[in-house]
Amino acid sequence: MIGIFDSGIGGVTVFKEIKKELPNYKYIYYSDSYNNPYGEKSRQELEMITSNIVKYLINQGCKIIVIACNTASTICKEYLRDRYDIPIIAIEPAYKMVYDYNYSGKTLILGTKGTLNSNNFKELYHKYDNHNTVIYECNGLANLIENNKQEEIVKYLNDNLKQFLGVSNVVLGCTHYPLIKKEIKDVLGNVNFFDGSKGVVKQLKKVTQEINLEESNYSLKFIDTSNDLKKEDRFLEILKAS
C-alpha cells in the first residue's frame, strides 16, 4: 500500500499522475483539510502534524509515503526521513523543469509562504536560477481552492497576478494550483505550466521497484480530517476528469 497526503484535496493533481502510471497498487489518500492551510503554519506545527500523518499511514500498512504537498515537503522532508524508516517521496516546485525546457523564458514561481521561505526552495532556486524569474507568495490562495471559492479565486488572481503579464513560464509550486490553470490563463494568457507531479511519479516508480512492492488490484481509501463528506466526491470527480 502507498500512502499520499496533502493539506486537503490539492494533492489529487499528483495522485492523478500516479494513478495513470502506477495503476496496480493499493492507495490511501489522506486529505488533511482540517489543518489547511499548511503554508502559513510554523515549522514546529508542521513537523508535528506531518509526523502524526506518517505514523498513521505506516500503521495502516503503507510501505511508501508520498508527500503531495510542496509546503510539507520543502519544510519537513528531512525531519520525517530522519524519524521513519520507510521511503518518503517529496514533491518540489518544478523550477528545474524550467531550466531543462525553457531556460530563457521569463518565469513566475507561485507558492505558499512556507514553501518559498524554506531553505530547500532557496537552494533549488539558486541552483537553477535563470536570472529571469520572479517569485510570488500566494497567501490564502490554497485555502480558497480547497474550499472551492470560485468567485474569490478569480478576484484573487485578477488582483494579484495581472502585474506579471508577459511571463511565459509559470511554476505551480503548490499542489492545489494546477486545479486553477484555466483561471490563471484567463489572467496571464497562454503560459507554459510546470508542476512537480511528474518528478514524483518518476521517483515513486523507482522506489516501488527498489523495494519490490507487490502489485495488486487498484484500490483507493480516501480520508479527510475535516469530515466533510463532499471532499471525497470532489476528489473523485477531479480524478475522473481528463
Site membership for ligand DGL, residue 39 (CB under 6 A): yes
- Contact string (CB under 6 A) for ligand DGL, positions 113-132, x = contact: --x-----------------
Q: Kindly indicate which of the ranges 68-76, 94-102, 198-206, 227-235 contains the residues binding ligand DGL, using the contact rule CB under 6 A.
A: 68-76
Which residue's CB is nearer to ligand DGL, number 75 or number 213?
Answer: 75
Q: Which of 62, 76, 138, 174 is catalytic?
A: 174
The reply on whether position 93 binds ligand DGL by CB under 6 A is: no
Find the DSSP H helices in 104-149: 113-116, 119-128, 141-146
Q: What angle is formed at CA 117 by the lines to CA 112 and CA 118, rounded to 5 degrees?
A: 100
Active site residue 76: no
Q: Is the dihedral angle over the CA atoms 179, 215, 28, 90 positive or is it negative?
A: negative
Q: Is 8 left (phi over 0), alpha (psi -120 to 50) or beta?
A: left
- Residue 6 or residue 17: which is nearer to ligand DGL going by CB? 6
Q: Which amino acid is at 69?
A: C
Q: Which three cell numbers stand for residue 169?
A: 513560464
Using CB under 6 A, which of 3, 10, 87, 178 touches ligand DGL? 10
Distance CA 98, CA 50 (A): 29
Please say whether the beta carbons of 11 and 175 come within 8 A: yes
Q: From the list 112, 118, 169, 225, which residue makes contact with ligand DGL (rule: CB under 6 A)?
A: 112
Helix (H, G, I), strand (E, B) or coil at 79: helix
For residues 224 and 28, the answer to whether their CB atoms sit within 8 Å is no
Binding of residue 37 to ligand DGL (CB under 6 A): yes
Mark 163-202 with x for binding to ligand DGL (rule: CB under 6 A) and - for no binding.
-----------xxx--------------------------
Segment near ligand DGL (CB under 6 A); pick from 63-71, 119-127, 163-171, 225-233: 63-71
- Shortest reach from residue 242's CB to ligand DGL, in Å: 22
**Residue 23 parent element (H or E):** none
Residue number with the smallest Cβ distance to ligand DGL: 39
Residues with catalytic function: 69, 174
Q: Which residues bind ligand DGL (CB under 6 A)?
A: 6-7, 10, 36-39, 69-71, 112, 115, 142, 174-176
